[in-house]
Amino acid sequence: MGCNETFTINIGSQNTLSIDLDSQDESCSNECDGSAEVVVINGQEPITYLWSNGLTSNSIDELCSGNYSVTVVDADGCVQTESFTIISPAVIDMDIDVVSPNCFGENNGSIEIVSITGGVAPYYYSINGNAFDADTLFNNLGAGNYTISVQDQNGCIHDQNVTINDPVDLTLAVNPIDTLLQLGESIDIVTTLNPFAIIDSVSWSPSIGLDCSDCLNPTASPLETTLYEVTVYDQNGCSATATSLIRITNQDLIYIPNTFSPNNDGYNDLFTVYGGVGVEMVTELKVFDRWGELVYDAEEPFEPNSYTIGWDGIFRGKEMNPAVFVYYAEVQFIDGTKKIFKGDLTLVR
């Protein structure tokens, strides 16, 4: 009979440790939402995991950009190590063009997104928290602070603060603002524009009584109280307006003496009517004695301040004795109005 012999042979496990690593990069720059997961394809349970950040589950999340590794060990002591990198997308940035309003206080400024870097196209845009859309131009804007937001395909949002500045306010000052003139007088209205600007046009309204209606500094000679308004336009179409009130009076334009002395001494020898530049004509001048008899009648209209027209104290070829007389005068002003003056006149010698 033959001999029998028994041998013990150790055969290794056929489940060689094999793993698959799946990692997800950050969705947005500095979002720290990367993740990684280990899937064991072959290996003896139980399986242990050790990540480079100390975690021991088969998956980790909330990863920032950087380099990581995981070591997997199965029950047979087989070890598998994998390294990976979490990548952060480039930071989204905008190149923005800002246009200020043409004139102070207007709402015709604009903000335009010229270019985008970073993120993942396509991009969508929003102003001050409004709905996102593909339009890169925001117009009809006034001066102020705005927040421009861009959103990429991954939903990443980047905000950028933008300021639209108003141009300098165009202001106009006039001198005088309010003044009183005697009828017939003139005055220069002087305008000052701030800041200095290239003037396109000037317009005064009304133009009556002005020597020019399209100049900065006209001479005003109104016949009645007038409120003048001036509007100045600069080369950008901006305008400024100011007013000047010229009040007119004919009070105290007439002086009629109440005493005269026709003694040929060259002083106060003639009774007549004196007036300012607003007096056009003395249309009537009559003198009566105390019984009502007409002792002088100018008969024809004459200009005031005459040295030759007036009563010389003679009636019917004879010098009148000192006495009190009564005068009647009608005066016409350059604005066409007339006024009657009456009073006592004392003749002395």
pLDDT in tens, 77-131: 999 999 999 999 889 999 999 999 999 999 999 999 999 999 889 999 999 999 9
Whether the pLDDT of residue 11 is over 60: the answer is no
| pLDDT score at 252 | 79
Domain(s) of CATH 2.60.40.1220: residues in the chain: 254-347
Dist. CA 219–CA 234, nearest whole Å: 22
pLDDT at residue 159, as a whole number: 95
**What residue ranges of the chain are covered by domains with CATH 2.60.40.10?**
171-249
Phi-psi domain of 198 (left: phi exceeds 0; alpha: psi -120 through 50; beta: other): beta
pLDDT confidence of residue 253: 85
pLDDT of residue 314: 96
Please check whether residue 308 is in contact with residue 221, taking contact to mean a CB–CB distance below 8 angstroms.
no
Domain 93-164, architecture per CATH: Sandwich (2.60)
Dist. CA 182–CA 252, nearest whole Å: 8
Start-end of CATH 2.60.40.1080 domains in the chain: 18-86
Q: Which of 92, 87, 89 is nearest to 25 (CA)?
A: 87
For 254-347, which CATH class?
A: mainly beta
Rounded to whole angstroms, the Cα distance separating 102 from 178 reads 32
DSSP 8-state symbol, 178: E
pLDDT band at 196 (very low <50, low <70, confident <90, very high): confident
pLDDT of 8 over the 50 cut? no
Report residue 161 as tokens. Answer: 């603060």
Helices (H) and strands (E) in the chain, counts: 0, 29
Q: Are 57 and 49 in contact (CB under 8 A)?
A: yes
Of the candidates 273, 272, 258, 286, which has an alpha carbon nearest to the alpha carbon of residue 348? 258
Hey, what CATH topology would domain 18-86 get?
Answer: Immunoglobulin-like (2.60.40)
The predicted-structure confidence for 310-322, as pLDDT tens digits, reads as follows 999 999 999 999 9
Q: How confident is the model at residue 135 (pLDDT cuts 50, 70, 90)?
A: very high
Residue 2: pLDDT band by 50, 70, 90 thresholds? very low
**What size, in residues, is the chain?**
349
pLDDT of residue 251 exceeding 70: yes
Q: What is the pLDDT of residue 339?
A: 94
Q: Which of 14-28, 153-167, 221-235 has the lowest mean pLDDT?
A: 14-28
Query: 91 CB contacts (<8 Å, ≥6 apart)?
Result: 29, 30, 118, 158
Alpha-carbon distance 347 to 328, whole Å?
16
What is residue 10's predicted lDDT score, i.e. its pLDDT?
41
Query: Can you give the pLDDT at residue 298?
Result: 96
pLDDT of residue 85: 97
How would residue 15 be classed by pLDDT, with cut points 50, 70 and 90? low
CA dihedral angle for residue 269, residue 273, residue 279, residue 281, rounded to 10 degrees: -100
Architecture of the domain spanning 171-249 = Sandwich (2.60)
Say if residues 283 and 217 touch (Cβ distance below 8 Å).
Answer: no
Whether pLDDT at 338 is above 70: yes
What pLDDT, on the 0 to 100 scale, is given for residue 195? 77
How far apart are the C-alpha atoms of 50 and 65, rounded to whole Å?
19
Q: Distance of alpha carbon 174 from its chain centroid, rounded? A: 20
